A and B are shown apart, each in its own frame.
Chain A
Amino acid sequence: MRKLGNVKALSATAFDLRRDALDIIMAGGGGHIGGDMSEPEILLTLYERMNVTPETQDSPDRDRFVLSKGHCVETLYAVLSYEGFMNLDEVKAKFSKFGSEYIGHPHNTLPGIEMNSGSLGHGLSVSVGMALAGKMDKKNYRVYTLIGDGELAEGSVWEGAAAGAHYRLDNLCAIIDHNHLQISGNVDDVLSPGDIGGRFAASGWNVITVMNGNDIQQISDALDIAERTKGKPSVIIAETLKGKGSPLMENKAGWHHKLPNQEEYKQIAADIAAYKEAILNG
């Protein structure tokens, strides 16, 4: 992995990305804003550290990322634009429009996107395949996937978990965006995933808990631990805040895919700006 840059500056950038995701959603007339807002620090840290750039995105040695919670694609578009894979203005102009390739789920005809996703529960199995190929081809690349906590109800996640451990895929790191909410309410009320770490550990995974998954340094440190762990895959359980960026949305299931009205849009944009200011002044 690459070395992490200035943490304070990147932490502020994460709020710029939230604003970009918000604007993409407004431009397209819809999106999954709640989950978009819990993941910017995770995606930004990954793309700052993974060995992949717009220039190396086709290299067989590149690190790979799969957004298993594919509905939160707007922040991925924002991050990929920030990292130079895409053009933000083009994304905003085209997102969800008639005839557009910028749809509401990741699509691998777009630059920087490895796999199509959107049907939940696929990302871990797909990532296991990529990691296994890396082992077979004796490559040093690493594979990362971001999975939603509600998504853990999909049985296929656990098929992937078994295979990842069985093949000792220490080049694989799954991250759980543990924001505790899904579309119908609290994850524990809808269908409790139980002891997530315990389940992965029982499957043979190295389990790393990040107490604040919206903290870039904590995420980066966890990625280091994962990279140092040999003989088994790692899972990072990142405690995040759904809707982070505006108290209007924070920790509210109703914002899973709500489209802000103009008044709400202004409020959210102002709140995001205030968060960024606080970081820069902190």
Chain B
Amino acid sequence: MANKIANRAVMCEVLKEAASTDKSVVVLCSDSRGSASLASFADTYPEQFVEVGIAEQNLVSIAAVLASCGKKAFAVSPASFISTRSYEQCKVDCAYSDTNVKLIGISGGVSYGALGMTHHSAQDIAAMSAIPNMRVYLPSDRFQTRCVFEALLKDNKTAYVRIGRNPVEDVYSEGNVPFTMDKATVLAEGSDILIVACGELVKASKDAAELLKAKGISAGVLDMYCIKPLDSETLLKAAKGVKAVLTVEEHSPFGGLGSMVAQLISANDPKKVISLSLPDEPVITGKSQEVFAHYGMNAEGIANKAQEILG
């Protein structure tokens, strides 16, 4: 893999840049500064860093109170814990109370590999999306991660962002990052099938479209990093005329991108929507790419699934 820079390292860069001029930017961690690549933030701006120890519920409540006192609070903790262990606090203290807390789930999805289901977050999209007033973002690479964080620094509403632990292959390139906040990015236009992906599976989906092209199949690809609010306009436009839609996500089969896309397509432009996701069971032990390959969520698997759907 060419890229060695993890999305979490980019997050730290953006937050440090912001903190240098904006003293209201505050980062909170739950003994997670190392895992979050935020140790250098803590060292550089100790007065803008709050350590709460291993106490994720307290992390979110404190972040919410800081936000209500005018801070731009970024609460950063493993996605598995901040999304479900702190769920009540995310719902009540952040979303319901309309506080400007950015909840950052690091090491999301199956990033933690062999550490098992306690450390995997395959429910976070469903859980967070179900909260009124909560936005949900899953950037696909380091360039888009920068765009999402820069945009979040400019608004004053709560949001949940999931990023992975390990460097991921680039989808975009320096100086070539088409990005409008809350608008899906069209990576390819196609007439046979539309592939809608988010997070770390966007690159594989983009590669799958190339494999399909070689076989004479025209596949469109959307980078739907904005799960909520889902960009329905771009989605419906891209889905128009294709025979089927294939969604790809590092998440449970229930309540994630696939569910949301199916809901929208069935109501507006009924056609087959098939979801590629993690199974409804503890996932197999392995590194992210091994796990994706095992469940047919790598480029070849996605291309095969598309071909199978088209028959």
Q: Do A and B come from one complex?
A: yes
CB < 8 Å neighbour of B54 from A28, A100, A154? A154
Q: Within 8 Å of chain A (Cβ to Cβ): is B266?
A: no
Query: In chain A, residues 83-122, which have Cβ atoms closer than 8 Å to a Cβ of chain B?
Result: 95-101, 103-105, 107, 116-121
One digit per residue, 1 when the CB lies within 8 angstroms of any chain A CB and 0 when it does not, for chain B 10-53 equals 00000000000000000001110111000000000000000111
Q: Within 8 Å of chain A (Cβ to Cβ): is B113?
A: yes
The interface residues of chain A lying within 8 Å CB-to-CB of B117 are: 116
Contact A101 B114 (CB under 8 A): no
Contact B55 A119 (CB under 8 A): no
The interface residues of chain A lying within 8 Å CB-to-CB of B115 are: 71, 103-105, 118
Given A104-B115, A118-B115, A118-B119, residue A98 in contact with residue B284 (CB < 8 A)? yes
Closest B residue, CB atoms, query A31: B114
Number of residues from B at the complex interface, CB < 8 A:
30
One digit per residue, 1 when the CB lies within 8 angstroms of any chain A CB and 0 when it does not, for chain B 86-115 equals 000000000000000000000000001111
Q: How far is the CB of B82 from chain A (nearest CB, A)?
A: 12
CB < 8 Å neighbour of A96 from B35, B85, B285, B294? B285
Q: Within 8 Å of chain B (Cβ to Cβ): is A155?
A: yes
**Size class of the A contact interface (CB-based, 8 Å):** 20 to 34
CB < 8 Å neighbour of A154 from B34, B55, B113, B284? B55
One digit per residue, 1 when the CB lies within 8 angstroms of any chain A CB and 0 when it does not, for chain B 51-92 equals 111110110000000000000000000001100010000000
Interface-centre pick from B31, B35, B52 (highest chain A CB count, 10 A): B31
A191→B117 CA distance, assembly (Å): 27
Query: In chain A, residues 132-181, which have Cβ atoms closer than 8 Å to a Cβ of chain B?
Result: 150-151, 153-155
Which of A9-17, A182-190, A214-222, A269-277 lies at the interface? A182-190
Q: A residues engaging B (CB < 8 A)?
A: 28, 30, 70-71, 95-101, 103-105, 107, 116-121, 150-151, 153-155, 182-184, 190-191
Lowest 6 CB-CB distances: which A-B pairs, in order? A191-B53, A153-B53, A118-B118, A96-B114, A103-B116, A104-B115
Q: Can you show 5 pairs from A to B with CB atoms below 8 A apart? A: A71-B115, A121-B54, A151-B54, A154-B54, A184-B51
Q: A117-B118, A182-B54 are in contact. List 11 more A-B contacts (CB 8 A).
A: A96-B114, A97-B285, A98-B284, A98-B286, A99-B294, A105-B116, A118-B118, A119-B118, A153-B53, A184-B33, A191-B54
